[in-house]
């Protein structure tokens, strides 16, 4: 005769009882995990909104000489191209940052807004468009908004696709929108260093040590901690990969 009773200790169903088992209870659930704010598909939407505003800010700078979302030194590169017609420096600098951040974001879980969007979408892509003779997106407000949103949406989708093919590829379960955080770039990015180290340490001990060593080396060389922490974590993860969940 099959035992269909429930075990007395903790209310755990007996073997072959047919009752559903409790999977961690309240502590295993993430508050609002099924909401829009933590949905994976919402990430490209957020990036599209940010990129639309940043690209439109560059439109204002192109037309009215104000409104760009960048440091003065970076904006001056685009300004120089607007004055002499040579956009090579701004395009190379901005596009390089954009490409690096698209690769970095899925790997470390932090999308640097300053490098990927403010510099890439705000300076690099406009410089490439202007250098190729496509001035309409930067001349007209009604065109700048959807073009920026489209660029941001594509960047967000690319990051999610890369993350699924790499970090979350081996049977891993998504942590929803928190898979990729958006971090402040430029001068505010220096405060992300300790957060990167903590995040790396929670992933695995070797990756955490690598991130810490990288941050210490960059501190000694008087470089931003965030870069050293990220590079150290990536190098350690190369030799001590994190197994899939």
Segment 22-45, tens digit of pLDDT:
444 444 555 566 677 777 788 899
Contacts 24+ apart (CB under 8 A), 82-87: 82/130, 87/127, 87/128, 87/130, 87/131
Mean pLDDT of 69-82: 87
- pLDDT at residue 168, rounded to an integer: 63
Helix, strand or coil for residue 34? coil
- pLDDT at residue 167, rounded to an integer: 64
For residue 62, what is the DSSP state?
H
Which has more confidence, 209 or 194? 209
Give 71's pLDDT tier (boundaries 50, 70, 90). confident
CA atoms within 13 A on the CB side of 93: 18
Tell me the pLDDT of the chain averaged across its residues: 77
User: Does residue 115 contact residue 74 with C-beta atoms inside 8 Å?
Assistant: no
Contacts 24+ apart (CB under 8 A), 161-170: 162/102, 162/103, 162/105, 162/106, 163/105, 163/106, 166/106, 166/107, 167/106, 167/107, 167/109, 169/244, 170/243, 170/244, 170/245
Segment 154-177, tens digit of pLDDT:
998 988 888 777 766 655 554 444
Q: Return d(Cα 117, Cα 185) in angstroms, integer.
A: 9
Mean pLDDT of 138-156: 94
In which element (H, E) is residue 85 found?
none
Q: Which of 119-123, 143-147, 160-164 has the highest mean pLDDT?
A: 143-147
Which has more confidence, 5 or 150? 150
Which has more confidence, 45 or 200? 45
In which element (H, E) is residue 241 found?
none
């Amino acid at each position: 005769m099959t035992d269909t009773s429930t075990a007395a200790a903790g209310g755990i169903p007996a073997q072959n009882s047919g009752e559903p088992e409790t999977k961690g209870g309240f502590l295993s659930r993430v508050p609002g995990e099924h909401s829009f704010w933590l949905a994976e598909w919402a990430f490209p939407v957020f990036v599209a909104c940010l990129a639309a505003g940043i690209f439109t800010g560059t439109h204002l700078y192109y037309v009215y000489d104000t409104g760009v979302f960048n440091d003065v030194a970076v904006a001056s590169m685009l300004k120089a191209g607007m004055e002499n017609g040579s956009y090579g420096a701004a395009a190379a600098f901005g596009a390089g940052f954009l490409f690096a951040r698209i690769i970095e974001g899925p790997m470390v879980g932090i999308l640097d807004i300053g490098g990927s969007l403010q510099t890439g979408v705000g300076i690099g892509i406009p410089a490439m468009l202007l250098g190729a003779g496509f001035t309409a997106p930067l001349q007209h407000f009604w065109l700048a908004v959807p073009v920026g949103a489209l660029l941001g949406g594509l960047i967000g989708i690319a990051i999610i696709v890369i993350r699924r093919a790499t970090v979350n590829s081996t049977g891993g379960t998504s942590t929803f929108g928190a898979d990729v955080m958006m971090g402040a770039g430029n001068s505010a990015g220096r405060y992300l260093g300790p957060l990167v180290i903590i995040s790396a340490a929670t992933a695995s001990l070797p990756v955490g040590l690598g991130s810490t060593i990288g941050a210490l080396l960059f501190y000694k060389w008087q470089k931003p901690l965030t870069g050293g922490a990220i590079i150290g974590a990536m190098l350690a993860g190369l030799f001590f990969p994190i197994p899939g969940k």
